[in-house]
Amino acid sequence: MQHGRGTVQFKTCDPAKGGMEPTRQIIAIGGTTTQQDVALYPYILAQARRSMPRVGFLPTASGDADAFIEKFYEHFSRLACEPSHLKLFDRVPDLEKYISAQDIILVSGGNTKSMLALWKEWQLDVLLRRAWESGTVLSGFSAGAICWFSEGLSDAWAHQLSAVPGLDLIAGSCCPHYNNEAERRPVFQELIARGEMRPGIGIDDGAAVHFLDSRATAVVTARTQAEAYAVGLRDGKVFETPLEGKRIAVGTGHQYGCKAH
C-alpha cells in the first residue's frame, strides 16, 4: 500500500448557489463509540435551515432497539432541536409526511443490509432521496453513514465483512470504524485492490465527513487522532491518503456553530 497526498477520489468544493435552490447535504460519521464523539451532534444541528431544527431518528438498522432510541433522546433532548423517532417494526405512520417534516435525518448503526431492504419495501429510499434534494440534512453513524454511498463495507454477516450496495447518493464506497476495528482497514483495502469494491473513503470513529452536493467539503473530528481517508488504486496498488478538505475540530474548547458551506 502507498501512503501520500496525490489525487484522491473525493474533491473539495464550495458550491455557489443561486436563488433559493437548496444545498444537498450528507454528514457521514464513522462511529460514535465514546462520550467524546457526541460533540459531532451540535455540528450537525448547525447545518440545518432552522435554528431549532426537527431531527428525525431512524433506528431501523438496530431493529428499532429501545437502547438506541433512549440514547438518541439522552443526547438530543439536551440540544436546541425538536427530536423524534420513526419505527418500522411497529404501526407505521404516514412516512411521506414524517420525512418531509424533518430538517435533519439521523440514521443509527446496525445491520445495513436488513435496513436497506426494509426501507425499499416501504419506499423510504425514495422519500429520503427526495428529502435530500429538498435540503434536508442526511446523517448517520456506521450503517447510517455507509447507506448513502454506492456501497459500503458492512458486518451484516456474522462471519465476514462484505460489500453491500447503498442508496448511491454519493459515488464510491465507504468503510466506517476505519482504524478502530482491526479487520476493517485491511479488508476494505483488499476488496478495493481485487476490484470487488469501488475506491472510496474510510472514516474513523469520532470523525465525520461533510458532503455538499455529493462532494466532500470538510472532515469534522471530535477526537485528536480521528481522521478520514481516501482509499483507491494507483498503478495497480492501493493507496491511502488523508481526505482533502477543511478540518473542523469540535468538542471542549471548540466552536460548533460554523457551517461548512
Confirm whether 177 is a catalytic residue.
yes
Confirm whether 142 is a catalytic residue.
yes
Choice among 85, 108, 177, 214 that is catalytic: 177
Choice among 62, 108, 142, 214 that is catalytic: 142
The three state secondary structure string of the chain is CEECCCCCCCCCCCCCCCCCCCCCEEEEECCCCCHHHHHHHHHHHHCCCCCCCEEEEECHHHCCCHHHHHHHHHHHCCCCCEEEECCCCCCCCCHHHHHHHCCEEEECCCCHHHHHHHHHHCCHHHHHHHHHHCCCEEEEECHHHHCCEEEEEEEEECCEEEEEECCCCEEEEEECCCCCCCCHHHHHHHHHHCCCCCCEEEECCCEEEEEECCEEEEEEECCCCCCEEEEEEECCEEEEEECCCEEEECCCCCCCCCCCC
Catalytic residues: 142, 177
